[in-house]
A and B are shown apart, each in its own frame.
Chain A
Amino acid sequence: MSTTITEENNLTKKDFVTPNDVRWCPGCGDYAILNAVQRTLPELGIPREQFVVVSGIGCSSRFPYYMNTYGFHTIHGRAPTVATGVKVANPDLSVWMITGDGDGLSIGANHLLHLLRRNLDINVLLFNNRIYGLTKGQYSPTSEVGKKTKSTPLGSVDHPINPLLFALGSEATFVARTTDTDMKHMIETFKAAQAHKGTSFVEVFQNCVIFNNKTFDSVTSRDAKQDQLLTLEEGKPLVFGANKDKGIRLNGLDPEIVTLGDGIGHDDLLIHQPSNPNSAYANILAQMTYPTFPTPVGVLRQLDGRETYEDALIQQIEYAQSKDSDNLQELLTGQNSWVVEN
């Protein structure tokens, strides 16, 4: 989302910290995300009172209590609806919606879909830890098939949701992914989300230290991330690997990994174009997953120009107001009244 920068302000991270004790488990990835958000907001040039943080239910959704802004901790899955109401009531506000894989993609998937397709100017951060943490460890809609949890002793049989494909399928205008292990990348991604006018969907790989520890380690650990993550940068070829010697090129409709050299150069590779109006490219990226492919992080898709819901709604009101009177007495009287005289 984007909110007009109105004035210089001297906010710092401290201004966004509440006195409340943070009650996530020690070592939870949420701490890093909170830190990243508290470091991002002061740099946006938006007055603190213009921020509203809205969440649903789950570990991630405790987030508003720890942000010294306006905040609303709502009910399970329904944060997109409340965030929509806040934004429609006052489009000048910078609205941040915090959700998780269960909150956003199970009980609240319907609302998330409608928020994305309506393209309200709201930033959605979905903390994906592939587990139900607050209810103590049942599998979630992003858990992998075969996941053994308390509610799936023989392994989960559900095919998981890919959050990025979900967002792309909902025709979100901004779709990104970042990880709780990379502070710099998180801040960059959150800033890009704020700069985008329209709903910005950001999946954050987040580690649940208690119930699903190290679930993303294969791609986010210090050792793995060089080879297993593909960091997307606009206008640049899809290159990855500790030595930047591997790349992704297209073979027909399928992506394939190639090693640079031996006649294969950057020109042969896919160039990252998040603004490509055809969503096929972003869908290819979203489906690339370790170990078959490196897992992409960064902004997969950013389409500018689609009107936001609140702008369209306000424009209709302004049009109607320019055309018709708002005389309440005339409305009540109507066109077919009669007068009784005594």
Chain B
Amino acid sequence: MIQPTDSFEEIDSAVVRFAGDSGDGMQTVGERFTDSSAFAGNDIATLPDFPAEIRAPAGTLAGVSGFQLQFGNTKILTPGDEPDALVAMNPAALKSNIGDLPEGGMLVVNIDSFKSMNLKKAGYESNPLDDEDFRKKYHLIELDLTGLTKEALKESPLKPSDKVRCKNFFALGFMYYVYGRPLEPTLKFFEQKWGKRLPDLAEANSKVLKAGFNLGDTMETARNRYQVSKAPVQAGVYRKISGNEALVYGLVTASRKANRELLYSGYPITPASPVLEGLSQLKNFGIKCVQAEDEIAAMGVALGASFAGDLTVCATSGPGMCLKSEFIGLASITELPLIICNVQRGGPSTGLPTKTEQSDLLQALFSRHGDCPIPVIAAHSPSDCFDCAIEAVRIALTYMTPVILLSDLYVANGAEPWRVPNVSDIPVIENSFAKIEEEYVIYRRDPKTLARTQAIPGQVGLEHRIGGLEKGEDGGVSYDPDNHEEMSHLRAQKVAGIAKSLDPIEIQGEPEGDLLVIGWGGTYGAISSAATNLRDEGFSVSNIHLRHLNPLPDDLGDIIGRFKKVIVPELNLGQLNLLLRAKYLVDVISYGKLQGKPFKVSELHEKFLEHLR
């Protein structure tokens, strides 16, 4: 561990971005920097940003992959608007990222890659590093990463081409020096990942990482070092967690708490595939994972298994949600519990498969034919995916209904420190099972929740038939007009009644005032930061963040009524806005953004201010 020295400048937070070719290992170094910062006790938020193509042609703008993180000594809610330091591994990475680096920002470039061919591929007519104005604008640090890496690995038995591939860790080592990061977590990572299988590679990467660090120590230009001390957090055991990981763990935990076997069925799709992969790793927890032939089949398998008594889950993204719609309708009319996670990405159609968006909210609420209300909840941060998974299961099993859980690419791929809960502190989830000793009437309802009870195939004497046709209370097919109306009302009332089980909305700021900001999903960090800043500046602004999108909480209308203005920022063209206008007849100000990127704190700050003046 590096001890702080006098040369450290103490700062509250810093934003670092790594950018390079998609084959350069930028996601890996970003992840490692995150681990190291978590280990150092900082709070963190991350933003991986990669192209849809696995390996676009090397050196081109299309192939640039980036990873940004913010770490600090206070609560860090976003990965930062703009980087304080940018590492650019080639001209294409420089070109596509330099616009975000403010004047005076630290710019570390791999000069070895600034050759005519690469410059041309990136669309540079001349080498920007030769431009005096450019050089003066930034705190430029030029490193021959390729040469330095080769030099550090003179003795290594690796092939020359493999040696060069270690250069990302040279850059990482250098940045560790600049920000006084501990090397231990990364050295441990090398050992865990390659120590047994490829010990030469583990050794080489360790050597290169240390060489990068040591270069900082000896290099005149890198004398600026920064120190970010520990963030004050509640005592406990912490780990770093991404949204998709938290979703996986939440589902496993919920299945334990509900005492139901977990069956996950999915079809690979960006950015939800890590949920399928993550649960597939956990067979020791008894989890059944089915990789189905398509999105429809994934849903059918889950519904069949739900009928047979398992706790069942699908995760997908927008295009998959489109395909699942008909089955969601069947799950609704048969009133079977099921969790459908939509890790949203840019749409419509294939859209922006690797960029974030919140544009599936109305789809989640309304994409079935018929009157078919489904509970919808949304996770607001990576670790919140854990709590939302448990909440989704609670709703599904208590109310006998499919539940849609919205996440998004930003939440799913982002990571933050997470205080690991004590499993025994998490409440048990009750099932709505039929009793063998009682007469079984399929759609007879609990008067409180309006949920039906579930009988499981294999149970003696409870044989019954369900299906997609409208039915009476006894499950018999019924085309009676009054019955259909009554059944439709009952299903709607059941879902609406979930609101009674919700905690009051938590308001950040005063309970009344000039401006109320209403957010949902992954925009939490940016909204909360911007609103907090404005409150600190003395403005009357409060913010709430909705986890439950259907039904909306009962106290929302009152809260809205206590503010002069209401603004809803969302990464779509105004979907929650539409819902709030329809339900509360309120003139909501909509602020949408559709660039495949999360909100910046600064743009929200500016927008809110516009309505506060």
**Do A and B bind?**
yes
Residues of A near any B CB (own CB < 8 A): 18, 20, 47-50, 52, 54, 57, 64-65, 67-75, 78, 80-90, 92-93, 110-111, 113-114, 313, 316-317, 319-321, 323-326, 328-329, 331-342
Complex Cα–Cα for A113 and B249 (A): 33
Q: Across the interface, do A75 and B458 meet the contact criterion of CB distance under 8 Å?
A: no
Interface digits, B263-276 against A, CB 8 Å rule (1 contact, 0 not)?
10100000000000
Task: Kindly report which residue of chain B lies nearest to residue A310, judged by CB atoms.
Answer: B288
Contact A47/B460 with A85-B308, A317-B283, A336-B239 known, Cβ cut-off 8 Å: yes
Complex Cα–Cα for A256 and B463 (A): 50
Complex Cα–Cα for A111 and B175 (A): 52
Residue among A335, A337, A341 with the most chain B CB within 10 A? Answer: A337
Contact A72/B284 with A78-B297, A85-B263, A111-B297 known, Cβ cut-off 8 Å: no
Interface digits, B34-66 against A, CB 8 Å rule (1 contact, 0 not)?
010011010000000000000000000000000
Q: Across the interface, do B38 and A338 meet the contact criterion of CB distance under 8 Å?
A: yes
Q: Besides the contacts A70-B465, A86-B457, A338-B39, what 6 more A-B pairs have beta carbons closer than 8 Å?
A: A65-B465, A85-B302, A89-B310, A325-B284, A333-B239, A340-B236
Chain B residues near A18 (CB-CB < 8 A): 465
Contact A336/B185 with A65-B477, A70-B457, A85-B265 known, Cβ cut-off 8 Å: yes
Contact A317/B460 with A89-B310, A337-B237 known, Cβ cut-off 8 Å: no
Q: Across the interface, do A340 and B233 meet the contact criterion of CB distance under 8 Å?
A: yes
Smallest CB-CB A-B distances: 9 pairs? A85-B304, A81-B300, A73-B467, A320-B283, A89-B308, A82-B304, A324-B284, A85-B305, A71-B465
Q: Across the interface, do B304 and A81 meet the contact criterion of CB distance under 8 Å?
A: yes
Q: Across the interface, do A82 and B301 meet the contact criterion of CB distance under 8 Å?
A: yes
Contact of B303 among A73, A82, A328, A336 (CB under 8 A): A82
Contact A90/B285 with A74-B468, A337-B238 known, Cβ cut-off 8 Å: no
Contact A114/B297 with A328-B253, A342-B235 known, Cβ cut-off 8 Å: yes
Residues of B near any A CB (own CB < 8 A): 35, 38-39, 41, 185, 188, 192, 233-240, 249, 252-253, 256, 261, 263, 265, 282-288, 290, 292-294, 296-310, 312, 326-327, 330, 334, 420-423, 457-469, 476-477
Complex Cα–Cα for A323 and B285 (A): 11
Chain B residues near A68 (CB-CB < 8 A): 463
Complex Cα–Cα for A18 and B420 (A): 52
Complex Cα–Cα for A48 and B458 (A): 8
Q: For the complex formed, measure the closest distance between the CB of A80 and the CB atoms of chain B, giving whole angstroms.
A: 8
Q: Across the interface, do A72 and B292 meet the contact criterion of CB distance under 8 Å?
A: no
Contact A89/B236 with A110-B293, A324-B284, A331-B282 known, Cβ cut-off 8 Å: no
Chain A residues near B330 (CB-CB < 8 A): 74-75
Q: Across the interface, do A74 and B467 meet the contact criterion of CB distance under 8 Å?
A: yes
Chain A residues near B284 (CB-CB < 8 A): 317, 320-321, 323-326
Chain B residues near A114 (CB-CB < 8 A): 292-293, 297
Q: For the complex formed, measure the closest distance between the CB of B209 and the CB atoms of chain A, giving whole angstroms.
A: 17
